């Protein structure tokens, strides 16, 4: 077996997994709190990527340092996307908080459709190339093309986000409020937690990480269009479910498992069936463990 090839696939899988994880976090947190499959979440990721592309394009003329441009674009994209996240929640989900779950899901599907077409109409349906802004690190010259500097940045950013998020949820006031709300919304409200604030905050965090994923992926893959959010969203959702939806470590684990499965599947078997591997794997896992890898089986209280 060719070890270099193996490592290349492994790192490719980890990179993919990182991006899935950044998106899946939003899915899983929103699900944990309001039990909604936020179908429009993938579009947030797309909007993040597009905004970054637009800012990069606009700043490209100024002749600033490429790394600085990338950072500015990233910050603006992530903030804007977080804004989109809360706005969507306010319009499409908040009025449906006590409605049947199916209604909220349809509303989310409608929102997804709306956002896709919004970007399509305001921008373009073509694939747009994302300029290379991150220079190759010098110390990677010896690595023989197994890993690129963008990949390193993606892996490091994801790791950082995970750590910060874990600390946030474990130790801060708002983190505790989030956990309480996801356990029992009514009870949380009774002990004085501002539910609306907590939910809005969840959307902010979720959209923030998703957009981060969007910014990173477009610098890695190099081109985007209005439709990327849909597939990525579905995959990330698969990852979240795989790990056990509602569980944050589950979402991360599920994402890496999914990323690696896809990477090795396409690398060793066939690239035609990339998506089939992901979905087959999901069906298989859920048949064995109906609540996902880390999900706990919930006994209905009778």
Partner 1 sequence: MVTLKQIRNSVLIALWMMILTFPIMVIKVNTIENIVIWRWMNLLYIGVGTVILSIFWFFLINRRKLEPEERKRSFALKGKIETLKGVLAKPVVQKPLYAALLVIIIIFPFVSSLYQTGIMITALMYVILGLGLNIVVGLGGLLHLGYAAFYAVGAYTYALLHRYLGLSFWVCLPIGALSAMLLGILVGLPVLRLRGDYLAIVTLAFGEIVRILLENLSQYTGGPAGISGIPRPSFFGIKMSLSTAMNYTYFLTFALVLFTIFVVRRLEHSRLGRSWVAMREDEVASEAMGIDITRAKLSSFALGALWAGLAGVFFSAKTTFVNPASFTLWESVIILCVVVLGGIGSIKGVVLGAIVIILLPEYLRAFSQYRMLFFGLILVMMMIFRPGGFIPAKRRVYTFDKAQLEESD
- Please give the residues from 96 up to 155 whose contact with partner 1 meets the rule CB under 8 A: 96, 99-107, 109-119, 121-124, 128-131
User: Which positions from 217 through 246 interact with partner 1, judged by CB under 8 A?
Assistant: 234, 237-238, 241, 245
Q: Which is nearer to partner 1, 6 or 279 (CB)?
A: 279
Q: Which is nearer to partner 1, 132 or 172 (CB)?
A: 132
User: Which positions from 161 through 190 interact with partner 1, judged by CB under 8 A?
Assistant: none
Min dist. Cβ of residue 228 to partner 1 (A):
15
Per the DSSP assignment, residues forming a β-bridge with 245 are none
> Would you say the C-alpha torsion 107, 109, 110, 114 has a positive or negative sign?
positive
List all residues 6 or more positions away from 206 whose beta carbon is below 8 Å from its beta carbon: 25, 26, 27, 29, 30, 38, 41, 44, 85
What x/- string results for residues 263 through 292 when contact with partner 1 is judged by CB under 8 A? ---------xx-xx-xxx-xx--xx--xxx
Min dist. Cβ of residue 186 to partner 1 (A):
20
Burial code (b: 16+ CB inside 10 Å, e: under 16) for 52-81 equals: bbbbbeebeeeeeebeebbeebbebbbbbb
3-state secondary structure of 267: helix
Min dist. Cβ of residue 300 to partner 1 (A):
6
Burial code (b: 16+ CB inside 10 Å, e: under 16) for 21-35 equals: bbbbbbbbbbbbbbe
Q: Which is nearer to partner 1, 168 or 275 (CB)?
A: 275
User: Which positions from 17 through 36 interact with partner 1, judged by CB under 8 A?
Assistant: 31
What x/- string results for residues 59 through 98 when contact with partner 1 is judged by CB under 8 A? -xx--------------xx--x--xx--x---xx--xx--
Tokens 């986000």 belong to: 161
**Count of positions on this chain that bind partner 1 (CB under 8 A):** 72
Q: Which is nearer to partner 1, 173 or 299 (CB)?
A: 299
- Whether residue 130 contacts residue 142, with contact meaning beta carbons closer than 8 Å, is answered with no
What tokens were used for 269? 């078997």
What tokens were used for 237? 């959702």
Min dist. Cβ of residue 56 to partner 1 (A):
8
Q: How far, in Å, are 55, 171, 245, 298 from residue 301 at the CA level?
A: 51, 30, 20, 9
Q: Which is nearer to partner 1, 24 or 162 (CB)?
A: 24
Min dist. Cβ of residue 106 to partner 1 (A):
5
3-state secondary structure of 128: strand
Q: Which is nearer to partner 1, 128 or 251 (CB)?
A: 128
């Amino acid at each position: 077996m060719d070890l270099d090839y193996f490592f290349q696939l492994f790192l490719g899988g980890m990179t993919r997994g990182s991006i899935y994880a950044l998106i899946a976090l939003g899915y899983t947190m929103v699900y944990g709190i309001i039990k909604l499959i936020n179908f429009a979440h993938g579009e947030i990721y797309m909007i993040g990527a597009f905004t970054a592309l637009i800012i990069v394009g606009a700043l490209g003329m100024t002749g600033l340092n490429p790394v600085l441009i990338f950072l500015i674009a990233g910050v603006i994209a992530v903030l804007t996307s977080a804004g989109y996240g809360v706005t969507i929640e306010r319009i499409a989900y908040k009025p449906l908080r006590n409605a049947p779950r199916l209604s909220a899901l349809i509303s989310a599907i409608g929102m997804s459709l709306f956002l896709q077409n919004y970007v399509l109409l305001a921008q373009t349906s073509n694939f747009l190339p994302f300029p290379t802004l991150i220079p190759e690190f010098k110390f990677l010259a010896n690595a023989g093309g197994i890993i690129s500097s963008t990949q390193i940045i993606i892996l490091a950013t994801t790791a950082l986000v995970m750590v910060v998020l874990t600390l946030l949820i474990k130790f801060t006031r708002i983190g505790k409020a989030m956990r309480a709300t996801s356990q029992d919304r009514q009870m949380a409200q009774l002990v004085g937690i501002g539910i609306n604030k907590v939910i809005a905050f969840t959307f902010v965090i979720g959209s923030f990480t998703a957009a981060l994923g969007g910014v990173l992926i477009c610098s890695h893959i190099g081109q985007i269009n209005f439709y990327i959010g849909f597939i990525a969203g579905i995959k990330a959702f698969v990852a979240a479910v795989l790990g056990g939806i509602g569980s944050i470590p589950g979402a991360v684990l599920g994402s890496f498992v999914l990323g690696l499965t896809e990477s090795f599947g396409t690398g060793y078997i066939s690239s035609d069936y990339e998506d089939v591997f992901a979905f087959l794997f999901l069906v298989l896992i859920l048949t064995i463990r109906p609540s996902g890898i880390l999900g706990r089986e919930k006994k209905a209280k009778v």
